[in-house]
Chains A and B, each alone.
Chain A
């Protein structure tokens, strides 16, 4: 058995080689015959040719004459020679006036056989009956070459054949099935329905509409709008002069250079679009999406796959579910929503709004405002021309170089802020806070972790619970500003400028050490107010831990 199984491939190859040579020879056809037809009819440019065929390969090209010329070859094979002869005798090629032009059709006994129900038991058809059983072994194929004026309309209906049209300009309405359709160097308006076969449109001067389920589509150099609908097969496009709409189902869509707007829908595959001069809209559940060089707005929806966007001239909107999002160089506002994966955004000339539950968020160089809502993963922001608003939970937040106000809410991690041009507000339960170089007022609220503020320039309000507080290297203490440092159990260390005009009240619990005069109060309501400070700075410190107030000499 082993020896035999090893020999088998070689045996089959030998058998095949014999068959291969014999398959090329007509002699193995039992009763295969063919018949050639030739027909011609005059017409005029701009008229319509209607073609109604079945199991035919069609080639349509142009001629200089005002005529439609058809050459056809019909092949038939069957065991019974008489049937073959009779079939061919009954086959006719019609080219006759119809509507606004001519109609081309091949008429044969096949037409009767294709009608629903059993064929009649008359004439040739009785040969196909064994008793009441219809037994049919005849085979048929046709090949038509048609020449028409260069400017002409076409209405084609065919199945199980290939269609090739070249050099014709006009209105095209083509319906085919299980075959390849190609239009080469044509123009006008094309409406094409095909299935299970590829569609190729290499050059077309005009709008194109293609419906090709389970068939791949390739469209290039089309001067008008293009609409493609297909499934389970790829779509490729390049250089579309007008708008492009692609609706694919589980098909890979790739292409570049669209003169107008571009709208693409697909699923479970890849979408890759480059150079769109208008707006881009992509809906691709479970699609990896790549979009580059979009002149106007871009709107992308996907899930479970990454999104990469580079260079968008207008607004960018991305809605992803569990999608990693990377976007760079956006001319307008940016709105990103995703989850459970990284969001990386850079170089935005508008504002940015990001919603990323369980996503890590990284934002760099945004000219406008930045709003971030996320959780459980880090938030890093650097370079914001407007204000910054971060609402997170159980996540570390690091921000630097914020030109206006900054507001941070998070928990159970750390907040680090370096450089805020406006006010800073931080609310962090069990969050350590470190902030430096704050031009405006600072207000923080946290618990169980430390607060360290350096180089502030406005009022300072720190409310902590079991939080160690340290404030120092104060740049500026404007007249009338206040410093309020409240915590429990933990020490407070405040370093004031040597010449600070301050009125300090403390509600102590532990040891106090101060280089400035300090008023002891028994409750917060007794703290000294601004009036008492007479234009100076009021300082209030409350803790059951130690208090240390120093000067920075």
Chain B
């Protein structure tokens, strides 16, 4: 059995007061009203608390990560801004000298490699000019390292404790090796072996700092074998 008024009510075309007045004289609609009351009473029993005591900590973690990402983006854009400004900015130097420096590093690297390492090396000492070039390469490494340190060291403070400790001890170890090589070179400046190990340590320091910054650097591909 159905009732046209019920159909109107179900379509929302009749308000409740009007429907109730109609239902007083219509058994079909009266029954419908009773069922509606029963439905609503059952539905209200669904208003039970839901247990999720851990949920806030998950949400908080996600929001903290989001905040950290935002801060990193802000820092990166600040770095980029700095690089864009000024004639002698890092960007100016980067665009002009680094390609040439990269080429120099490659060729000097090849030169040092062939100059220093061969199956039957003729000398364990570097010739004057080769020594000058190796010293120049070391200075270039030092400049690159200085630039990377300025960016990387503040970023290290944002790392988790484990990573901070890892990178810090690694850099300290490399610095100790650089220091030892320099001490040895103070009394033996043209020794090819010590020079080779100093360059390897400088190379490793540059790689490690680049790793902290997450930079891709052609020049910093691992070259651990000496």
Contact = CB atoms under 8 A, between A and B. Distances in A.
A contacts B directly in the complex (CB < 8 Å)? yes
Interface of A: 1, 5, 8-9, 12-13, 16, 19-20, 22-26, 28-30, 32, 55, 57, 75-77, 110, 113-114, 136-143, 159-162, 177-180, 195-198, 213-214, 216, 231-233, 250, 267-268, 285-286, 411-412, 489
Nearest to A159: B184
Contacts of B127: 22-23, 25-26, 28-29, 32
A22 B129 contact: yes
A202 to B, nearest CB: 15
Given A55-B184, A160-B188, 16 more contacts: A5-B96, A8-B100, A9-B99, A12-B100, A12-B103, A22-B129, A24-B115, A26-B123, A55-B193, A57-B124, A139-B126, A141-B188, A159-B184, A196-B201, A214-B177, A232-B170
Residue of A8, A110, A177 with most partner-chain B CB within 10 A: A8
A16 B104 CA distance: 8
Contacts of A197: 197, 226
B25 interface: no
Contact of A19 (B130, B189, B193): B130
Given A29-B127, A198-B225, A77 B190 contact: yes
A141 B124 contact: yes
A536 to B, nearest CB: 37
Q: Which 9 A-B pairs have the closest CB atoms?
A: A141-B124, A139-B190, A9-B103, A8-B100, A23-B130, A28-B127, A178-B197, A23-B115, A16-B107
A231 B191 contact: no
A114 B197 CA distance: 19
B88 interface: no
A160 B177 contact: no
Contacts, number: 148
Residue of B174, B189, B190, B201 with most partner-chain A CB within 10 A: B190
A12 B124 CA distance: 25
Contacts of B77: none
B226 A141 contact: no
Given A55-B193, A75-B123, A196 B166 contact: no
A162 B125 contact: no
Interface string B201-226: 10000000000000000000000111
A16 to B, nearest CB: 5
A142 B201 CA distance: 23
B26 interface: no
Nearest to B92: A1
Contacts of A28: 127-130
Interface string B191-203: 1111001001100
Nearest to A10: B103
Contacts of A138: 187-188
20 contacts: A5-B97, A8-B99, A19-B130, A19-B133, A20-B115, A25-B127, A29-B125, A30-B128, A32-B123, A55-B191, A75-B125, A77-B190, A141-B191, A160-B193, A160-B197, A233-B224, A267-B166, A268-B166, A285-B162, A411-B51
Contact of B170 (A26, A139, A162, A250): A250
B181 interface: yes
Interface of B: 45, 51, 95-97, 99-100, 103-104, 107-108, 111, 114-115, 122-130, 133, 162, 166, 170, 173-174, 177, 180-181, 184, 186-194, 197, 200-201, 224-226
Nearest to B100: A8
A178 B123 contact: no
Given A160-B193, A267-B166, A23 B111 contact: yes
A5 B94 CA distance: 11
B53 to A, nearest CB: 11
Given A75-B123, A75-B124, A250-B170, A13 B129 contact: no
Nearest to A139: B190
Contacts of A489: 45
B201 to A, nearest CB: 7
Contact of B188 (A9, A55, A232, A285): A55
Contacts of B126: 23, 139
A178 B194 CA distance: 8
A216 B200 CA distance: 13
Residue of A9, A26, A195 with most partner-chain B CB within 10 A: A9
Given A29-B127, A75-B123, A141-B192, A160 B201 contact: no
A178 B176 CA distance: 12
A55 B196 CA distance: 13
Contacts of B111: 16, 19-20, 23
Contact of B173 (A29, A137, A159, A214): A214
Contacts of A29: 123, 125, 127-128
B193 A162 contact: yes
Given A55-B188, A180-B226, A286-B162, A141 B193 contact: yes
Contacts of B162: 285-286
A450 B224 CA distance: 64
